[in-house]
Chains A and B, each alone.
Chain A
Amino acid sequence: MNEVIENREEEKIKKKIDFKIVTFSLGGKEYAIDIMKVKEILKENRFTMVPNTLPFVKGVYNLRGEIIPIIDLREMFMITVEEDAEKEKDILILRLPELVLGVVVDAIDKVVGIAKEDIQPPHPLFGDVNVKYISGVVEVEGKLYIILDVDRIFGEEEVLSASYGKKKEEITERVERVTEVAKPAKQDEELDFSFIKDTLIALKSFYITEVNYEWARRRYREWSDLRREASEPVQLESVKDAEEFLKPFFSPYTSKLWGDDYHNNLLALLPDEYSGVIQVWDIGCGKGYEAYSIACILREKYGKNVIKVWANDSDLLNISMAPNLVLSQVEIPQYFIKNNFVEKYENDYRFKREIKDLIVFEYHDITHLNEYPEMDLIVARDLISFLPPEEQKRMIAEFSDSLKSQGYLMLGENEVPIGSEWKRVSEGNVVLYRKE
């Protein structure tokens, strides 16, 4: 009722009203949205949480049969929120050309009518929100309201389109862009990070994307602390620096036979039985340690099944050594000897014929055409991070296509797959993603 009365008052004062805005507060500041974009207003606290989404996505809500995403604008603009989680939240339901969604704000205030000529262009330093997303500023009764351009915030890059095709990285970058004005101190850090990102591409062809973003961010913080302590430059100035930076990225037992812990954890995650041939695709197998480890684990667990491990690498020198890999006793975990998978060869050891016959080592570049049977397990540790972003996306889609349903994907310790079809399962230091 108040709103209506106030509206009338507004109308009396201002003769000309071009459109109306809904005002609300966010982190103590006043904002507004064009009322034509607002479908309705809601107080609610019960949302269905959706796992694995961005932090500002609160979940989905059933609005009389229509499922809509709920976004917390405060989180999106990185305004700290301190409030009772149980409290009902003020929500604006927005109707945009392509989607309907709800946004959580601190408190919805009122509806006011304004004239077009009263809207002033935004000042570059205005508010917590990047100028790009502000359509103007208007003064009403001595208060300044920042009018948000919701079409640009949510529409432009289809943040929430059902396919969720847009990448987290882009969105994160955008959120960072949004907060640039507000947090000048953070700017240097962002710049440093983006330089490191570029140098890693140039020096090691390592691409930071959503596949490894969390690791990269964590490593960057750790790295910049370490380097500052040692009074050394944060930036990577040589291949050696880049290698040092990437050192902790690599998964356990890279270029080694898998140890007993890793082996036991993987055993625990694999299904109790398979019917028919077990097909495995091991990509980037190098000299073959990984492929042999997998072959032995499967041979031990699935004695009756036919096992086929397709092991590729695009490094000719490494993979040429794989079929006849010779091991010294110290590099063989007890388990391989105990199960009789290796045999004495002069002073050293090598794998028995029956294990070798399970593996096909191929000199192959996976960015070319991959013609393989449907797989039960794909192992691609620390591999896709070294492909350009488009290739990364394409490869993960290809993994998904080549896996049987309920098949497993094993990425590097610090990598996560893109897409919603993956279910994370883990045991100790082994993480697999099951295709659902």
Chain B
Amino acid sequence: MRVEYINPFVEAAFNILKEVLGTELTRGELYLKSTSQPVLGVTAIIGLTGDVEGRVLFDMDEKTALAIASAMNGEELKKLDELAKATITELANMITAQAVTKLSEIGFKFDITPPAIFTGEKMEVSDAAVEALIVPIEMPLGKVEINVAVREKN
């Protein structure tokens, strides 16, 4: 993944999470991964097109998703209903949109697709050996893993 893309995503994730949740967060070590991986339980996905092709996954477990959704809505949500899902989707959208904006400022044109959300147990993502950048973010509410796979159009 092109070096210039990395920071916008990391910064956007950091800024938005901090802003909407108002909590402390720490960033784990970034790394590359190319194997299929288990999904924690709630995953929002946004596709990227334009100069590149790829997608961003926001992965967390249900407890974390509920805690984030509750914090963002200012009320205690008990289960992952439509409102909770819409909130997580919106969070994914905000982060990706900010990253894409930063990227366009430095000259890379990306478009994003409408987000989708998957929930369930024992899920796995396998996109044929695509190399993804993993940005792990730890918060008191739980852990969110942002998984970015982008490649240049040759």
Contacts and interface: CB of A to CB of B under 8 A. Distances in A.
B2 A361 contact: yes
B131 to A, nearest CB: 4
Nearest to B32: A365
Interface residues of B, number: 17
A364 B32 CA distance: 7
24 contacts: A316-B6, A316-B30, A320-B3, A320-B7, A322-B3, A323-B3, A360-B2, A360-B152, A361-B3, A361-B4, A362-B1, A362-B2, A363-B1, A363-B2, A363-B3, A363-B133, A364-B1, A364-B32, A365-B131, A368-B129, A368-B131, A369-B130, A371-B154, A373-B154
A364 B6 CA distance: 12
Interface residues of A, number: 17
B26 interface: no
B34 A368 contact: yes
B63 interface: no
B90 to A, nearest CB: 29
A361 B154 CA distance: 14
Nearest to A321: B3
Nearest to A362: B2
Interface in B132-154: 133, 151-152, 154
Interface of B: 1-4, 6-7, 30, 32, 34, 128-131, 133, 151-152, 154
Contacts of A373: 154
A290 to B, nearest CB: 15
Nearest to B35: A368
B32 A369 contact: no
A369 B131 contact: yes
Given A323-B3, A323-B4, A363 B130 contact: no
Given A365-B34, A369-B131, A319 B3 contact: yes
Given A364-B1, A365-B131, A371 B151 contact: yes
Interface of A: 314, 316, 319-320, 322-323, 360-365, 368-369, 371-373
B135 to A, nearest CB: 11
Contacts of A320: 3, 6-7
Contact of B32 (A360, A361, A363, A371): A363
A362 B3 contact: yes
Given A320-B6, A363-B1, 20 more contacts: A316-B30, A320-B3, A323-B3, A360-B2, A361-B3, A362-B1, A362-B2, A363-B3, A363-B6, A364-B32, A364-B131, A365-B32, A365-B34, A365-B131, A368-B34, A368-B129, A369-B34, A369-B128, A369-B131, A371-B151
B35 to A, nearest CB: 9
Nearest to B106: A323
A279 to B, nearest CB: 9
